[in-house]
């Protein structure tokens, strides 16, 4: 006897529930996932005879703002709060916002390749990254990796400054920063 798993436990059912939570119809989900409508129909109304390809699962995960491993492994109870922008136990609500507001394929691809690094981005860093989007913009011209490395360098530097500022070298740090600040400010801002 070939017993099918209950509808609620299949990957297709999980995707369908998350799409429903987003309030998307088949056409909207097809647009956000860049999949054709026939594929979307087969996902949202499965007959149990076809297994989803990895590329299809990846496209669905990107559109829903989760990673492939999260989509495959996490139960709905852990994924549903993310659909509503609520904090989850792993603190990734801000990452969900990044997935939702990312519009460039290069940024989506970087997120899929670097989920751990993406989780380390603060809300302000995500705002900075999102502000660089746009046709012909910095993310396209120079690349996402370049900008993320700059963000990570700034974060590391600020952490180091914070440590030094809490030592006897605060006066020296203040003088050094003052000299550098004066050099980078436009002439009109100096007074």
Q: Where are the domains of the chain?
A: 1-84
Contacts for 85-90: CB closer than 8 Å, 24+ residues apart: 90/119
> Rounded to two decimals, what is the model's pTM?
0.50
Q: Where is pLDDT greater, at 89 or 127?
A: 127
Question: Phi-psi region for residue 48, left (φ > 0), alpha (ψ -120 to 50) or beta?
Answer: left
The reported pLDDT for the residue numbered 1 is 41
Q: What percent of the chain has pLDDT over 90?
A: 15
Which pair of structure tokens corresponds to residue 80?
Answer: 């549903």
CA atoms of 58 and 72, how far apart (whole Å): 10
CB burial of residue 22 (10 Å; 0-12, 13-18, 19+): middle
Q: CATH assignment of 1-84?
A: 1.10.260.40
Mean pLDDT over 96-110 rounds to 82
pLDDT tens per residue across span 118-177: 888 888 888 899 889 887 778 887 889 999 999 999 999 988 888 888 889 889 999 999
The reported pLDDT for the residue numbered 48 is 64
Q: Of 44, 50, 34, 49, which is closest to residue 12 (Cα–Cα)?
A: 44
Q: Supply the mean pLDDT for the chain.
A: 80
The reported pLDDT for the residue numbered 6 is 42
DSSP string over 145-174: HHHHHHHHHHHHHHHHHHHHHTSTTHHHHH
CA atoms of 142 and 138, how far apart (whole Å): 6
What is the pLDDT confidence band of residue 49, given thresholds at 50, 70 and 90?
low
Alpha helices in the chain (DSSP H): 11-22, 26-33, 37-44, 54-64, 68-73, 76-83, 93-101, 105-113, 115-119, 123-131, 138-141, 144-165, 170-184
């Amino acid at each position: 006897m070939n017993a099918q798993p209950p509808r609620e436990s299949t990957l297709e059912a999980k995707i369908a529930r998350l799409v429903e939570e987003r309030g998307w119809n088949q056409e909207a989900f097809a647009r956000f996932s860049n999949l054709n409508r026939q594929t979307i129909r087969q996902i949202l109304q499965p007959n149990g005879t076809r297994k989803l390809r990895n590329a299809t699962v990846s496209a669905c995960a990107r559109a829903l703002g989760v990673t492939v491993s999260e989509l495959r492994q996490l139960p709905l109870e852990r994924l549903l709060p993310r659909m509503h922008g609520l904090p989850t136990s792993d603190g990734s609500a801000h990452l969900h916002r990044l997935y939702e507001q990312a519009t460039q394929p290069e940024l989506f691809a970087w997120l899929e390749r670097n989920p751990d690094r993406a989780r380390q981005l603060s809300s302000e860093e995500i705002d900075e990254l999102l502000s660089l989007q746009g046709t012909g913009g910095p993310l396209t011209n120079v690349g996402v990796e370049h900008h993320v490395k700059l963000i990570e360098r700034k974060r590391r530097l600020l952490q180091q400054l914070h440590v030094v500022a809490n030592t006897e070298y605060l006066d020296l740090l203040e003088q050094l920063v003052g000299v550098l600040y004066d050099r980078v400010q436009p002439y009109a801002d100096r007074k």
